[in-house]
């Protein structure tokens, strides 16, 4: 059993979000996978279980818990698989549903992967939930972008979206991990998606992930897909659209995620990125 290490949403190993990838996890129990993910120590490790049919089963483990879907580990897995078997289309069976992935070489010779998320949806968050979240983050309600209302969003996992009015507010992140973990577990949020809108199609993001045993995730594809669904459902962007999410810069691991948002409601969101071996 070999654990590959890739960094996703970057072209440099020192950037992006590292992921562990096990391309053949047959024979491993859930406890084995959890132990391996904890030892690897990345925000997620993906375990591929080859099936008899065209689908590949993939499970994702953080150091602390199994999660239903992980965008950056999916990109890393697809690129690692392509480098072994060649580029093309993959169908991944995850606990969040079926995920289609296409790998291809870009014009510069990098292997890029595009996943199509499960159908996204959003849900309201109460004033009390927002107040609790702001208190834990040390934010004030006056520091929020009034045009991007707080909301929970899903594209494989639930993320609560909180939009800062300024880049400087986003740049300063400090919170109590146990308190935020409890709030997230109570509400079923996998990460908190903190964003700032630089322009109509460029967003900066930070994603606290204490439920996974990680203070901050440097590139979160699932949250970027959820953001795409949120923007479409709330009609906050002309459609169809392509959005760039810049993440990880504040923690020294710059990442770039391309989000493709189709016009039709209920269709999956496209997430594109490169990945490189570490």
Nearest to 62 by CA among 14, 17, 105, 19: 19
Q: How far, in Å, CA of 129 to CA of 112, rounded?
A: 38
Nearest to 70 by CA among 79, 60, 78, 80: 60
Q: Has 264 been annotated as catalytic?
A: no
Selected catalytic residue, list 2, 44, 52, 124: 44
DSSP string, 93-149: EETTEEEEEEEEE-TTS-EEEEEEPSPPEEE---HHHHHHHHHHHT--GGGB-TTS-
Q: How far, in Å, CA of 76 to CA of 269, rounded?
A: 18
Q: Where are the alpha helices (DSSP H) in the chain?
A: 30-40, 71-85, 127-137, 167-171, 177-187, 221-233
Which residues are tagged catalytic? 44
């Amino acid at each position: 059993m070999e654990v590959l290490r890739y960094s996703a949403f970057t072209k440099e190993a020192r950037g992006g979000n590292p992921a562990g990838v096990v391309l053949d996890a047959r024979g491993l129990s859930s406890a084995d996978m959890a132990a391996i993910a904890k030892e690897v120590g990345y925000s997620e490790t993906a375990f591929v279980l080859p099936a008899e049919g065209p689908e590949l089963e993939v499970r994702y483990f953080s150091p602390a818990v199994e999660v239903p879907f992980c965008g950056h580990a999916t990109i890393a897995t697809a690129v690692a698989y392509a480098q072994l078997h060649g580029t093309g289309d993959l169908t991944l069976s995850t606990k969040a549903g079926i995920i289609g992935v296409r790998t291809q070489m870009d014009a510069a010779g990098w292997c890029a992967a595009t996943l199509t998320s499960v159908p996204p949806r959003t849900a309201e968050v109460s004033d009390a939930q927002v107040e609790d979240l702001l208190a834990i983050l040390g934010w004030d309600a006056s520091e929020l972008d009034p045009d991007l209302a707080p909301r929970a969003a899903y594209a494989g996992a639930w993320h609560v979206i909180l939009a800062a009015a300024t880049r400087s507010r986003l740049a300063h992140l400090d919170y109590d991990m146990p308190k935020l973990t409890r709030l997230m577990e109570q509400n079923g949020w996998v990460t908190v998606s903190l964003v700032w809108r630089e322009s109509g199609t460029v967003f900066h993001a930070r994603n606290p992930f204490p439920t996974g045993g990680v203070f901050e995730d440097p590139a979160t594809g699932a949250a970027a897909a959820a953001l795409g669904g949120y923007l479409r459902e709330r009609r906050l962007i002309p459609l169809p659209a392509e959005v760039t999410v810049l993440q990880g810069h504040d923690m020294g691991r710059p990442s770039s995620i391309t989000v493709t948002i189709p016009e039709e409601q209920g269709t999956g969101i496209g997430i594109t990125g490169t990945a490189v071996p570490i």
